[in-house]
Amino acid sequence: MARPGACGRVLRLALLLLAGALVAACGGGSSTGSPQPSNVSAYVSGVRPGATPFIAILQLQGSRVAAISSVRFTIAPAAGAASRAVDITLTGAYLARLGYTAGPGGLAVPVFGLYAGTTNHLALQLVFQDGTTQALAADVVTAAYTDPNGIYDHPVVHVPRTPGGALGFDYFAMKSAFGTPIVVDTDGHIRWVAAGIVNAQSSAFQGGAFVIGVPVSTGFWRLELDGSIHPGKLSAANYTTFHHNIDPGKLNLLGEVNGTSGGVVAIETLLSEFDPSGLVLHDWDLGAILSAYMTSQGDDPTAFVRPGVDWFHLNAAAYDPRDDSLIVSSRENFVIKIDYSTGAIRWILGDPTKYWYTFPSLRAKALALPTTDLAPVGQHAVSITHDGLLLLFNDGTASTNQPAGAPAGVSRTYSAVSAYSINPVAGTAQEAWRFDYGQSIDSAYCSSAYETSEGSLLVDYAMASNGAAARLVGLDPLHNVVFDFEYASPHGCVTSWNAVPVAFESLVIG
């Protein structure tokens, strides 16, 4: 296991032991001052810096530290903050898995989500194996942080979040091409970044850690919030690289990969479900699936499925548990639903003015959409909402890699978030709702929109201002803008190609 480096930062710790709670944990009695180490179950004896100022390691000592079964820590919000407190519980299984076991020096406990360059007020709740508890408090003073990219610590705040505004999330992670993901609170403060990762665009937040695909190989990293890094590698020999995103799957994670199919290069047509060890649990070759179907229906697939060419451009996938299926985004063509087990095509939703619609077999699977609704065009980030709608970021950019003379479809001057109601029996779809920010932002490529369980949304316009900026926008369940932050983007989608809410305000890590 790779441990975070000391990085030369100095932290000071002021201990505020809660005498009453300590006495209760030790079985009663009274105290007029702070208990001495010899008669307390646990106390904070020191602190050392983590990989960045947003991470620190507390040292606990005392007579019962070996019996601690979980540690919960909260970090008080800054004055005037609208974001809720960081509130994270570390189970004993998590601490043991990462090597934090009690020894002669006590028990080390990582804390993260700290503010940089200030005094952080921490409250800790220790739970022991017999069910008793103990409360501690500590102040951790952190060093200042300067983003080496000059980006993430300089947001332009178009709409600040105000205290009391309804929003279902308080923290989000931007998937960056400059290093690790960047966790920001909804006040615009950086609250977590680590070190040791070059590019985190292909990543997912899972089980309190980031799983990050290496863009030049089939290796991946599990980056824990304490800053430690654990390597893995996909087991399939025909895969070559990760690309685009990693998404939640049925059994574990869905990775978009390049590789070979039938001895021919398969560019952005392969989808793989893999576990933490890198074992491939299931995979789907969209080129093979479409070829077999089109052939069975009397169509010649060779004009559509073109191995060695980026004809499909798979950029996102989502598992739908309601009918055991996968919804896959093909940026060049459509959104397609396939059976999880067999790969059989359920339906296709896309722009009927594109090349794909000229093939009778594909047209037969197309859902009918009202002409007044926006079809998915150049879409990214497919998912299922809490009320069963298909949600996606509707970029609005026509196809860029169709055969010469083939129709590329419509192209819009703005991007939107679209949510669709699907009736597979009737073969119809309808835009249930749309958010287009007054048609004021065009993000031609990349980008995302994800919902939290009660209907709030995080929208990431990864290529706003002609690609010069990323706009991160929070919407309440009624789709009112709660915050709007802008970050410079030197080129393409590098600042925040995709962004997801992360539950630093209520997270249990096992």
Structure tokens at 85: 């407190």
Mean pLDDT of 404-416: 98
Q: Which two tokens stand for residue 342?
A: 């067999």
What's the CA gap between 73 and 44, in Å, rounded?
13
pLDDT of residue 40: 84
Pull the structure tokens for residue 44. Answer: 């904070």
Q: What pLDDT does 87 receive?
A: 98
pLDDT-derived band at 39 (thresholds 50, 70, 90) equals low
Would the pLDDT of 178 be above 80?
yes
Cα–Cα distance, 449 to 472 (Å, whole number): 10
Give the tens place of pLDDT for each residue, 7-27.
433 344 444 433 333 322 322
Rounded Cα–Cα distance for residues 42 and 62 (Å):
4
Strands (E), 12-164: 12-15, 43-49, 55-61, 68-75, 86-91, 107-112, 119-128, 133-141, 156-159
Label residue 163 exposed, middle or buried (CB < 10 Å: 0-12, 13-18, 19+): exposed
All domains of the chain in start order, with CATH: 12-141 (2.60.40.10), 156-505 (2.120.10.30)
Asked if 390 and 420 count as a contact pair (C-beta separation under 8 A), the reply is yes
Q: What one-character-per-residue DSSP string does 269-300 give?
A: EEEEEE-TT--EEEEEEHHHHHHHHHHHTT--
**In the chain, helix, strand, coil percent, each to 5?**
10, 45, 50
- Nearest 5 degrees, angle CA 122-CA 473-CA 213? 75
Q: Do 42 and 60 contact (CB within 8 A), yes or no?
A: yes
Order the strands of the 219-224 sheet from edge to edge: 203-206, 209-213, 219-224, 229-233
Q: Taking all residues of the chain, what is their mean pLDDT, rounded to a whole number?
A: 93
What's the farthest any 2 CA atoms get from each other in the chain?
A: 88
Q: Three-state SS for 42?
A: coil
Q: What is the average pLDDT across 375-388?
A: 98
Instruction: Report pLDDT digits (tens) over 230-253.
Output: 999 999 999 999 999 999 999 999
Residue 252, C-beta contacts closer than 8 angstroms, at least 6 positions apart: 273, 274, 275, 276, 281
Tens of pLDDT along 148-164? Answer: 999 999 999 999 999 98
pLDDT in tens, 204-234: 999 999 999 999 999 999 999 999 999 999 9
Q: Is the dihedral of CA 281, 252, 335, 240 positive or negative?
A: negative
Q: Which pair of structure tokens corresponds to residue 345?
A: 């095509």
Would you say 423 and 397 are in contact if contact means Cβ atoms under 8 Å apart?
no
Q: Report strand pairing: 334-339 vs 203-206.
A: unpaired
Proportion of the chain above pLDDT 90, given as a percent:
90
Report the candidate in 145, 133, 90 with the shortest Cα–Cα distance to residue 112.
90
Q: How far apart are CA 192 and CA 181, in angstroms?
A: 8
| Percent residues over pLDDT 70 in the chain | 92
Over the stretch 435-480, which tens digit does the pLDDT of each residue have?
999 999 999 999 999 999 999 999 999 999 999 999 999 999 999 9
- What is the Cα Rg of the chain in Å? 25
HSE of 46, CA atoms in CB hemisphere, 13 A:
7
- Span 345-363, pLDDT tens digits: 999 999 999 999 999 999 9
